[in-house]
Amino acid sequence: MGKAKSTFINMFLTLLVVCVLAGAALAALHRATDEPIQETRLTQQQEAIEKVLPPFDSLQTEKKALEAQSSTDIYHKTAAADSLTLYHAFLKGIAVGTAVESFTNKGFGGTIKLMVGFLPDGKVYKTAVLSHTETPGLGSKMTEPSFYTQFEGMQPEQFPLQVQKDGGEVQAITAATISSRAYCDAMNTAFDAIKK
């Protein structure tokens, strides 16, 4: 049997078969990995909520829509982030705090997502970084206790959540002022959500 003729139709059909098989393989892989990825995200989210709040036995979830502060404010202008999720925590029916899943697009490397815990009086209890793409060894230091513990006990209405260069109380990460400012921006977004 001879070799198939190299014609446009043969090449097109071969390419079509390869594309269909590759697409089917990718779809199968996506289906196989999507559920474990979602489960991992939910576990990480639950761990972050538990980390930033005092002990609790029940949660109520609330979505709050974001409003752009100005026409040049890009930190609300992504379709996937037009609201914040608040987790109101209770222990034996008494409110013990609220965790806010916050974000900012003002990081040096892009979006920074935080979980911020507030006590009923509005003080910051604890914070946790959910995700970031900041520079390793510089902006990534936001995940170290030496940076994030300084927010604990702060009352944003009395102490502006801004870096010291901008007149606030926050000690910026050395050589990573943009990342530090972005962290403060996400903190302020969270605080604005619980004030309303």
Segment-wise mean pLDDT, segments of 10 residues, the chain, 196 residues:
68 88 86 75 86 94 74 42 88 95 92 95 94 91 93 89 90 92 94 87
Question: Has residue 38 been placed in a domain?
Answer: no
Question: Has residue 18 been placed in a domain?
Answer: no
Return the exposure string of 146-175: e unless at least 16 CB atoms fall within 10 Å of the residue's CB, then b.
Answer: ebbeebeebebeeeebbbeeeebbbebbee
The pair of three-digit structure tokens given for residue 50, joined into one six-digit string: 């538990």
The residues facing 59 across adjacent strands are: 89
Q: What is the pLDDT of residue 75?
A: 42
Question: Has residue 137 been placed in a domain?
Answer: yes
DSSP codes of every residue in the chain:
-PPPP--HHHHHHHHHHHHHHHHHHHHHHHHHHHHHHHHHHHHHHHHHHHHHS---SEEEEEEEE---SSTT--TT--GGGSEEEEEEEEETTEEEEEEEEEEES-SSSS-EEEEEEE-TTS-EEEEEEEE--PPTTTGGGGGSHHHHGGGTT--TTTS-SSBGGGTSSB-PPTT-HHHHHHHHHHHHHHHHHHH-
Specify whether the CB–CB gap between 89 and 53 falls below 8 A: yes
Phi, psi of 130 (to 5 degrees): -85, -45
Q: What is the pLDDT of residue 87?
A: 96
Question: Has residue 109 been placed in a domain?
Answer: yes
Q: What is the pLDDT of residue 4?
A: 57
Q: What is the pLDDT of residue 80?
A: 45
Question: Has residue 124 been placed in a domain?
Answer: yes
Would the pTM of this model clear 0.85, i.e. be above it? no
How remote is the C-alpha of 46 from its chain's centroid? 13
The residues facing 84 across adjacent strands are: 64
Q: What is the pLDDT of residue 68?
A: 56
Question: Has residue 14 been placed in a domain?
Answer: no
Q: What is the pLDDT of residue 76?
A: 42
Residues 6+ apart with CB under 8 A from 135: 108, 109, 176, 179
Q: What is the pLDDT of residue 147?
A: 94
The residues facing 102 across adjacent strands are: 114
Q: How many domains does the chain have?
A: 1
Question: Has residue 126 been placed in a domain?
Answer: yes
How remote is the C-alpha of 145 from its chain's centroid? 18
Question: Has residue 142 been placed in a domain?
Answer: yes
- CA-nearest of 115, 106, 111 to 177 is 106
Residue numbers of the domain that contains 168:
53-195
Q: What is the pLDDT of residue 32?
A: 79
